[in-house]
Chain A
Amino acid sequence: MDAIAQDTGIDRIELRRKNFIPADAFPYQTPVALQYDSGDYEATLKGALFASDYAGFEARRSAAAAKGKLRGLGISTYLEACGIAPSAVVGSLGARAGLYEVANIRVHPTGSVTVFTGTHSHGQGHETTLAQLVCEQLGVPMAQVEIVHGDTAKIPFGMGTYGSRSLAVGGTAMVKAMDKIIAKGKKIAAHLMEAAVEDIEFKDNVFSVAGTDKTKTLADISLAAYVPHNYPIDELEPGLDETAFYDPKNFTFPGGCHIAEVEIDPETGVVTVINFTAVDDVGRVINPMIVEGQIQGGVAQGIGQALLEHAVYDKSGQLLSGSMMDYTMPRADNLPNISVGTETTLCTHNPLGVKGCGEVGAIGSPPAIINAVVDALKQYGVRHINMPATPEKIWSIIQAGRPAAAAE
């Protein structure tokens, strides 16, 4: 995009704007099968330009130049297809698995809940976020919700965690299983309170008969389901334990804008990331702290990819970067503070309105960093640099572009 901007003379921000799908054009049918359900790319661009103080950049560039440093700013606006995926679509693309997800919700006789999910948490905080869903839909306190994942001897046959799908697909399976819990609970409540099922309402953990003060808690209903002495046993099975499988109707499409500001020391070629701003639309945010953590971690991975990390092999296939040190995984002092913001448009085809946040950080950040490095080096005529933009590569570019040193 920046190369096109340079060639056409169109401002790089305006060029991106010209190519945005406007917020009122959704749902947007692309020419290549996919239909984007929602988004507001102008909102994330605007948010990132503001948060990164884009307007003040040229002054910062001049201040850096006065200290002999090359400062650059890079922008990336991106769109990702995740929440994978409709099984039929991926099947047509050659996938040999279904990409549904499954949840089993077990309400215990005490009213506490165990969730068996087919997705897996290895640090993404599902134990918290998925428990929040139960808290929200069934009104069960967080402390009474247990999330079980990963043990194939216990969980139903699920598909796991990847493609930022756990909440969009796995969370939706939970919602559907909890809908079944509520529907069955209403039938039990109608029997116990001698009312018509249509008159039973469920809210904040309580079943009530509309227009009366008759109520039963979820725990009352669950106890009646497991001790079915007074129970519509001819119509209903005992127990309050439901499973739902959910095959998504579409991918989800998180998007956003990442802005990186870097400074290069022309003597060494070392790039310092001064600021990094990410403003993403991940749909509805269930837990802001976890979303921020996911995006910060993703951005760090993207910065590592853009500047440091590289699996290098020699001609005989021997891995040369076989240790953390040689591979140069980013350390704390290689990274800046990562400013994260969100702008929300809801996903329209899942009940939670969520799009996924696990990968967006790593998707938006590498191009933002590389564009910033190229921007910093523009006086040397650089239009592109391959990742990772190591000090050696940058130093060589600067050396090649310099007027020959004065003779000794």
Chain B
Amino acid sequence: MGETMPQVTLTVNGKQHTVDVEGRTLLVELLREKLGLTGTHVGCDTSQCGACVVHVNGTSVKSCTMLALQADGAAVTTIEGLAAADGTLHPMQAMFREHHALQCGFCTPGMVMSAIDLVQSHPEGLSEQEIREGLEGNLCRCTGYHNIVKAIAAAQPLMHAKAAAE
């Protein structure tokens, strides 16, 4: 009889899952391979590029550098969990589309998740320079960041207005 595999229970995009995982399983592996949520990407696997960013209890986390077991009991949001049930995009997603803030799209899920946390944690608003500094952890090879910065600046008032209305 081998040792039983540890279990992790977590909520992902509002749905509870209990999954057997190896101790070494990373959160991103749990999301992509066990739950089939492949919207979260793995770029560098060493927390340099930010393609794997998700929210854990509302805060952005590089999911390639967190063990699945550390997320036990947590509420995780991935890119798949942002749009409303009727398909209405999150304001950040809508502004990324509006401002052509993606080309190949590989960095986009992580970029959007980082940007949402960045805006949410700065209700006082962010300058262009502060947005650029806030994106330090996310790499993009296609856009030169120009339109990403524009999209985040445009999403700020929409997100704050939405939060105030809720």
A and B interact: yes
- Please report A residues at the B interface, Cβ cutoff 8 Å: 122-125, 289-290, 292-294, 296-301, 323-325, 329, 331-333, 335, 337-338, 361
B143 touching A293, Cβ below 8 Å = yes
Residues of chain B within 8 A of A123, CB atoms compared: 102-105, 142
For the A-B complex with A123-B105, A332-B133, A337-B149 known, give 6 more contacts whose Cβ atoms are closer than 8 Å. Answer: A293-B103, A296-B143, A296-B144, A296-B146, A298-B144, A333-B132
Of B12-20, B23-31, B42-50, the segment with at least 4 beta carbons within 8 Å of chain A is: B42-50
Contacts A123-B103, A324-B139, A332-B135 given; indicate if A297 touches B144 (C-beta within 8 A). yes
Name the interface residues of B125-143: CB closer than 8 Å to any CB of A. 128-129, 131-133, 135-136, 138-143
Picked from B44, B49, B141, B147, the residue with its CB within 8 Å of the CB of A296 is B147
Provide the bound-state CA to CA distance between A54 and B131, in Å: 28
List 12 A–B pairs whose Cβ atoms lie within 8 Å, in order of A's numbering: A123-B103, A123-B105, A290-B100, A293-B147, A296-B143, A301-B141, A324-B44, A324-B48, A329-B141, A331-B136, A332-B133, A337-B149
Q: CB-CB < 8 A to A301: which residues of B?
A: 141, 144
Contacts known (A323-B44, A324-B48, A331-B136); A293 close to B100, Cβ less than 8 A: yes
Contact between chains at B139 and A329 (CB < 8 Å): yes
Q: A362 CB to closest chain B CB, in angstroms?
A: 10
CA distance A300 to B148 in the complex (A): 13
Least CB separation from B104: chain A residue: A123
Tell me whether A335 and B49 are in contact (CB under 8 A): no
Residues of A within 8 A of B149 (CB): 332, 337
Taking beta carbons and an 8 Å cutoff, which residues of B are in contact with A?
Answer: 44, 46, 48-49, 100, 102-105, 128-129, 131-133, 135-136, 138-149
> Which residues of B lie under 8 Å from residue A124 when comparing CB positions?
103
Q: In the complex, what residues of A have CB within 8 A of residue B144's CB?
A: 296-301, 335, 338, 361
Contacting residues, chain B, for A294 (C-beta < 8 A): 103
How many residue pairs link A and B with beta carbons under 8 A? The number is: 75
What does DSSP make chain A's interface, helix, strand, loop or mixed? helix
User: A125: which of B44, B103, B141, B146 is its contact (CB, 8 Å)?
Assistant: B103
Cβ of A157 to closest chain B Cβ, rounded Å: 25
Contacts of A361 on B, CB cut-off 8 Å?
A: 144
The minimal Cβ–Cβ distance linking B47 to chain A, given in whole angstroms, is 10
Residue of A325, A332, A337 touching B48 (CB-CB under 8 A): A325
Q: Given the known inter-chain contacts A123-B105, A123-B142, please indicate yes or no for A332 contacting B44, CB distance below 8 A.
A: no
- The docked-state distance in angstroms from the alpha carbon of A361 to that of B142 is 11
Q: Measured between C-beta atoms, what is the minimum distance from B135 to chain A in Å? A: 4
Given known A125-B103, A289-B100, contact A300–B139 (CB-CB < 8 A):
no
Bound Cα distance A215, B131 (Å) = 56
Report the Cα distance A335→B144, complex, angstroms: 7
B146 with A338: CB separation less than 8 A = yes
Inside 8 A of A333's CB, which chain B residues have their CB?
A: 129, 132-133, 135-136
Residues of A within 8 A of B135 (CB): 331-333
Residue numbers in B under 8 Å from A125 (CB-CB): 103
Contacts of B136 in A (CB 8 A): 331-333
Interchain residue pairs A-B with the least CB separation, the first 7: A300-B144, A123-B104, A123-B103, A332-B135, A333-B132, A332-B145, A296-B144
Bound CA span A335–B132, Å:
9
Choose among B105, B132, B142 the residue that contacts A297 (Cβ–Cβ < 8 A). Answer: B142
User: Smallest Cβ distance from B46 to chain A, in angstroms?
Assistant: 7
- A61: shortest Cβ distance to chain B, in Å? 22
B132 touches A332 (CB 8 A): yes
CB neighbours (8 Å) of B131 from chain A are 332
Q: Are A337 and B146 in contact (CB under 8 A)?
A: yes
Closest chain B residue to A337, Cβ basis: B146
Q: Which of B46, B102, B103, B132: most chain A Cβ within 10 A? A: B103
Partner of A332, one of B141, B142, B148: B148
Smallest Cβ distance from A357 to chain B, in angstroms? Answer: 13
A292 to B144, CA, bound (A): 11
